[in-house]
Structure 1
Amino acid sequence: MAYPLAVDIGSGVTKLAWYSDPTKKKVEVADFPTAAAEFPGGVADDIYDPDAYGLVSYNGTLWAVGDETGSLFRPNQRVNSLSGSWAGSPGWTAILYAAIARAFPDGGAFEVLLSTGLPQAVYGAHRKAILDHLNCKHQFMVGKREYEVTMQANVMPQALAALLHEATGNAEVMNYQSAVVDIGTYTTGYAVLHNGRLQNWRSNGIEVGVSALTQALARWLDDEKGLKVDPAIMPEVMRSRSVMFRDERLDLTEIIGQLATQVAKPIEEALIAAWDHGANDIARVFISGGGAPLFEPAITRIVPHARLSADPGYAVVRGLLTFLD
């Protein structure tokens, strides 16, 4: 029996979804940072945790993945998850293996029915190579647990997966013209579905995401408040929309909204070029991804009938899992 597993290796966050019971009634989700670094010449035993999910070895190489990377390597020592050759690379593969270990922590030999996604802008050029890379037997270790995993893989655009998630509760999403704007850490993808088929000429991606807003907020705090915030805690600042300033908590909701409007300009321009007249011919437009709540006001300014996806942060990976049913 092959176990269904969905893994969305985003440019900033990796998310996974799987069924925790044989009846497929309960879906488990998890996430960790998309970060990886290779140890040069191995690693000393005194820092090798046999139970760690973020230490991956395969093909004679050893990798720190996720939170382990931040503990052991400087930012300039980590692999670049924004390069055109990222998907299918050794670091990308190590992250995929770490995700498998989180869903199936006991190790061993088994089959996985894998569903994964690619950004809309690179899907066509990379899909076949990714499938060739995945559809085989994979041997690796995570911590001290040994794995021998035979994969049957499917690859689809991340934005399309978000639309599939919406279709789970509303079949009309597949029967009419629907669209999604999927806002990730470093990139934003957008896609249009017409009668269940992807309209490639109205679907693409752009290298703007939450990271640009995070950087803009960090600059504002430094310039306006003289506050230099550790980059490691900026994700929490964005989530809470607040930060400690001296002895008080500073509410950042208003300034984040203002900065998001500025940062979203390239996204707006791309959507205006791809979707004429405010997307009035598209019945439903969803906003998904980890940056969806932050950029919703900017998107709805040019697409007034757009609305947040159900569970926007996990819409893509839930859609990837839905495809396997």
Structure 2
Amino acid sequence: MARTPFELKGKTVFVAGHRGMVGSALARRLSRENVELKTVRRSEVDLRDQAAVFDWFAKTRPQVVFLAAAKVGGIVANNTLRGEFLYENLVIAANVIHAAHVNGAEKLMFLGSSCIYPKLAPQPLREDAMLTGPLEPTNEPYAIAKIAGIKMVEAYRSQYGCDFINVMPTNLYGPGDNYHPEFSHVVAALIRRFHEAKVSGASNVVVWGTGTPRREFLYVDDLADACIHLMKTYSDEELVNIGTGEDITIAEFARVVAKTVGYTGGISFDPSRPDGTPRKWLDVSRLAKLGWRASTSLEDGIRLAYQAYLREQKQAAE
């Protein structure tokens, strides 16, 4: 089961969800490895379709799988599309994990989410905090689907001897993010809001919530680098948090984004909007012991993310 270091060189590697923010970052990072990268569009194989997934795996037989495909969104999307978030993420995880096992994948990495941890778990969030208390209600369906995926990886590892591992990223941002005005994550939402305010000359930008919750933010290309590092060097049943080890209040973060975008107007907060979990700060000591630390500062990451946003807006307008 446990084979470290694991050699990626020369392997057929499938990135599930390659068009998403995380999957595209993994594909960029894998281009620096000597691998045969396999991807598939939803129009070709819908990962929610068990028969289609099983057929594709039987024909392609990837040796390595990064399971980054998921239905994702911010606090409003999670709380509004509760059935979709639970169903789609459950079936994607079940289909890909089982197909990888049946078709002899040498190694699989399942990417969870920091929302799997209880709403009021002690900070920083240790990996063993999972299932020790109630979840944040607004994203409970998504969290339960991710927990099921984690447990499926653990079960296949213990029952079948599969070299499958779990990693838990913190809040992510960067190229390929979703900038939907209602359903985006906080970083993308604020980049868009401050940019539009700058362009329109608005005197004030309203940020959802009280501004007091604390969040940890990781640039998505750092996540991809951590995933490649762990795929090569880690093989155990314990999940591994991936983050920066530092957090910031939403109010402070909003000021960082505003400064980066060049917005000079006022910032106010709307406490009628949900705050979500009071704090999500990952304990990354396990990751550090495994030899990896984030290298992109928040200021540099937001600058890169804003540049990516401008490029994507220009492409969309062409």
- TM-score with structure 1 length normalisation? 0.30
Higher strand share: 1
Structure number with greater Rg is: 1
Bigger helix fraction: 2
